[in-house]
A and B are shown apart, each in its own frame.
Chain A
């Protein structure tokens, strides 16, 4: 599963992150590196592809809401 919008990490347990999206939560695997609660990330095929800047994430979420 991946989402074409950013998600926010709300929980981390070992290498599994729980990611919050508007209206739902999904889990994704942390492949490598350090992540924190509150980080915005891009997920594809159930892995965290990249951490996003808060600026890019919030602007993307706003744009997504405008499109809805």
Chain B
């Protein structure tokens, strides 16, 4: 998979924060990210670096070349939580952590996901092969990757 596509699958789910809280991107830019994330359309790296500067900077602390799937995975699986800014609302701080969950049941094009500890969410899947029974990494309101 292209690193740009992999990165966007993980970063798009909480991009809403950039519109509603940080106000660094517009509604139109968010729609463009959504369209690309849902269709696995690769976006230009320089564009992604401009939209997600904080994430990219933190990924570069792991590897000066942020554009490898392994490095992006390491960030979102293991380092994203510490990067979630302390001044964000509690709901965002909690939901923004990338966690493993089980896709318990498919209801239309949505899945009931169980992340444990009473954390049940209804999520859309960003990976096309998603099916009930999968273990998947869940970010915010999306199932991002089967694991």
Known A44-B16, A47-B110, A67-B21; judge A32-B122 contact (CB<8 A). yes
Asked if B91 and A60 make an inter-chain contact with CB atoms under 8 angstroms apart, the answer reads yes
Q: Do residues B120 and A63 form an inter-chain contact, with CB atoms below 8 A?
A: no
Interface SS, B side: mixed
Instruction: Determine if A63 and B16 form an interchain contact, defined as CB atoms under 8 angstroms apart.
Output: no
Q: For the complex, what is the distance from the CA of A4 to the CA of B142, rounded to whole Å? A: 14
- A-B contacts at CB below 8 angstroms, number: 74
Which of A52-68 touch B at CB < 8 Å?
Answer: 52, 56-57, 59-61, 63-64, 67
In the complex, which of the residues B88, B140, B141, B142 has the most CB atoms of chain A within 10 Å of its own CB atom?
A: B141
Q: How many residues of B contact A (CB 8 A)?
A: 28
Interface size on A, residues (CB 8 A): 23
> Closest CB-CB distance, B108 to chain A, in whole Å?
8
A54 to B51, CA, bound (A): 32
Main secondary structure of the interface of A (DSSP, over half): mixed
**Contact: A63 with B88, CB < 8 Å?**
yes
| Residue ranges of A at the interface with B (Cβ–Cβ < 8 Å) | 2-6, 31-32, 42, 44-45, 47-50, 52, 56-57, 59-61, 63-64, 67
The chain B residues found within 8 Å of chain A, CB to CB, are 13-14, 16-17, 19-21, 87-92, 94-95, 107-108, 110, 112, 119-124, 140-142
